[in-house]
Amino acid sequence: MENNRSKQQKKRKKSKESILAFKKELRAMMLEPIYGENIKDIITRLTSKLEEIAESYGYEIEFPERAKKDIEGDIYYFVYSVKVKTKHGSKKINLEVQYMIYDEGKWMGVITEVK
């Protein structure tokens, strides 16, 4: 009986790590443009920036192979379902990024939403 009780107490003590501060830092990047020659260039820069931020928190980031996308003229909307691995488990964050041509074939990417 006593052994069962100690197992239940151990289960309750299991903590979950909040990624709230990490998400706040990503939200701070919102509407900060990332420039590049093409979408692939911007995705590479965005990925390395996010990995750098995640490493500062001791997290690992896993990007999906594909993103949901929508196109309206010269504006591309991507939604990435990013997996953030913490010491205590993993969480998912949805990043909405907008890519657009701004000047003679130059591209700009902007994080528009972090969920």
pLDDT at 31: 84
pTM confidence score = 0.79
- The one-character DSSP state at 115 is -
Cβ count within 10 A of residue 109: 22
Structural fold of domain 18-114 = Nuclear Transport Factor 2; Chain: A, (3.10.450)
Q: With H, G, I as helix, E, B as strand and everything else as coil, classify residue 87.
A: coil
Decide: 31 and 101 in contact? Cβ < 8 Å: no
Residues 6+ apart with CB under 8 A from 64: 80, 81, 82, 83
The tens place of each residue's pLDDT in the chain, 115 residues long, gives 555 555 555 554 455 668 999 999 999 999 899 999 999 999 999 999 999 999 999 999 999 989 999 999 989 999 999 999 998 899 999 999 999 998 888 999 999 999 9
User: What sign for the dihedral angle of Cα 65, 93, 33, 73?
Assistant: positive
